[in-house]
Every structure is written in C-alpha cells, then in structure tokens.
Amino acid sequence: MPLVAHSGLPTFEQLRQQGHDLLSLERAVHQDIRELHIGFLNMMPDKALQATERQFIRLVGGSNPIAQFFVYPFSLPGLPRAQETLDYIEKYYASFDDLRRDGLDALIITGANVASPHLYEEPFWDPLVEVMEWANENVTSVLCSCLATHAVLEHLYDIQRRPMERKLWGVFSHRVCEPHHPLLREINTRFDVPHSRFNEISRAQLEDAGLPVLVESEEGGVHIAASPDGFRVIYFQGHPEYDVNSLLKEYKREVKRFLAGELDDPPPYPDHYFPPAAEALARAHLELAIRARDAGESIPKMPEGDIEAHLDNTWGDTAKAIVNNWLGLVYKLTDLDRKKPFMEGVDPADPLGMGR
C-alpha cells in the first residue's frame, strides 16, 4: 500500500513524479486501512541529506503490507549544518520530542560522516544514544544503516569497528546465511549490495556478542546482522538504498579531489561497478582533465549521463524485498497502540518464534 504524503516534504512530490504510489493526507484519513508510523533519523551530511531521505523513503514505499506508511524524517542537534540545511530541517522535519510523545512503530537510522578517531567523540553520539535508548523500549524494530550500525553496536555491545587496509567500495555479491529467517523469506539467496566504507565489523565480532549474521559476502564482509532475538535491531553494513548512480557520484567527487591536489593518485574504480564501456569513458575523461589541468585550462565536466547509461542496478529488487519483509514483521508484531511494541502473547525475547 502507498506512502502517505502527510507533509510538504519535497521527497513526496519527487517520488510521485517518478511514478510511486502516494496518498494525500486527505484521502488517507478516509481509508479504512491500518497505519504504520516510521521514524527516519537522518544523520547524513548536507550534500547527501535529501538524496538519502529519498532513497530510504522510496524503499519503504516499495513495500506492500496492507498498511499506510507515514514516514517522519528527523535529525539530531550538534551535527555540522549549513544554514540552508537547517532551514530545510526546520521546515520539513519532525522533532524527536514530538515523535517520542506520539510513538512510532519502527525506526530507520542512517549513517553519518565522522571526523573523530572514536565514535563516542562525535557530536551525534549522545543524542543518538538517547534516541536508541528510547527506541529499545518503545519501538518494535530499528533498522540501522552503515555508520549507524557501527555506532549502535559500540553503544550496546562495546563492539569496536576496525579500519580496513583500503576503502571497501563497489558492488559485491552476497549470500544468505540463514534462509529460514523471516526477514529473508522468498528473496534471492545470492544478490548484490553496494558498499562504501573504511571500517568494518566482522562476523567473529558479531558472533562473539551473540548476534546472528544473516547475509555475508566473501569480498564485502557482513551486510546484515540482527539482535539476539533476530528482530529488535537489524544492522546493515552495506547500502541497499543506493541509486544506480550513487557510487558514480562518489567516484566523481574523488576525481575532483585528485584534480585539486588533495589526493596523490587517481581514485580506483569502484569494484564490480563500471562495465568496460563505462570504464573507458571514465578513463578518457580523466586523461582529458589531467591534460587540461596541467595546461592551466578549464577542466571538462565528467560525462555522467553517458557513464550512467552503462550502469546496472543489480540490488534494488532484493533491497525492496528485505524492507518489505521487515515492515511486514513490524505490522505483525506491533500492537495497534504504538506505545506497546508487541502484541499480547508475543515473547519479547523471541518475537519471531525462532527458538533463539
């Protein structure tokens, strides 16, 4: 069932123009359909704030449990923001105090940029801990993405992420480790997921803490893990929400940094992402750009559209299927009163009935 465009958030109109099914608030209140209210804690930096918002809301809207989805973006105080972004958040985002008062059925937490060697030194740490402590008692399930996964695991289990020898960057093949887990019901047993990170949490670290690993890649490491009960918290290390051109935009930023002298060497191509035709276009652009820079001439623009025409999205359908299963479980396990996360008769220690 559709998303409800319950506010003037520009993402709603953008998704409508892209053909997604949305209900106006006026129509939604006249539908005799159960609602799910989902918080979306967006900690991404300014340049990625709205794109990340759109990507995750699109995943929610692509789900099909019999429910109307109300999504409430909010952010945290203390994150470095330009005034324009602060104005956008003030106009379109909810406040955590209001969401805490009214209740939520589920919560999604995004990644963030970090500058400190330790996550607990970041300005988002204390506000994030406050949100997570409340969610543990009041929300049926929390889905954490990338950096949020690392921060929440450190807070809850004292698991320290570890730096990798080089940035993990590209699209990697993954395999389902627990095919009978309800989150993974009827999805492909092997599928792709984009990754983009410098740090990782390993299978051994997760298993030592009693956290089941659900999806893993030989090259990319763990993608999905869960809390010991299998559902209260879902951890993503990859980026299944990415657009087909998200890694291309990251590559473009790295090329600009190299041309500006911030990097000693040209950036590598994201692994398993550029087919030969796209790689040839990227290489030709870089050669022209280097010559123009060295000659003191204007640097030509990267032919993003031409490169993107050769790229394939090999992860989106599985991402929607997993989020669909997650929201279906939220629907099943949430009491109609959102201040009560589990229905009567459901064991909070084993909500999925898997005997953990």
Q: Per the residue annotation, which of 239, 250, 254, 285 is the catalytic one?
A: 239
Cα–Cα distance measured from residue 117 to residue 138, given in angstroms and rounded to the nearest whole number: 31
Half-sphere exposure at residue 67, Cβ-oriented, CA atoms within 13 angstroms: 23
181 is catalytic: no
Q: Per the residue annotation, which of 35, 144, 146, 177 is the catalytic one?
A: 146
Q: Per the residue annotation, which of 35, 53, 122, 241 is the catalytic one?
A: 241
Cα–Cα distance measured from residue 202 to residue 236, given in angstroms and rounded to the nearest whole number: 12
Which residue, 127, 60, 150, 70, is CA-closest to 103? 70
In the structure encoding, which two tokens stand for residue 179, read together? 């095919």
241 is catalytic: yes
DSSP state at residue 273: T
CA angle 209, 212, 214 (to 5 degrees): 145
| Strand-by-strand arrangement of the 221-226 sheet | 22-24, 3-5, 68-74, 35-41, 106-109, 141-145, 233-236, 221-226, 213-217, 162-176, 190-200
Helices (H), the chain: 10-17, 25-28, 46-61, 83-92, 96-102, 125-138, 147-157, 203-208, 246-259, 276-294, 304-308, 316-333
Contact 132, 155 (CB under 8 A): yes
146 is catalytic: yes
Give the rounded distance of the alpha carbon of 303 from its chain centre.
27
Residues acting as catalytic residues: 146, 239, 241
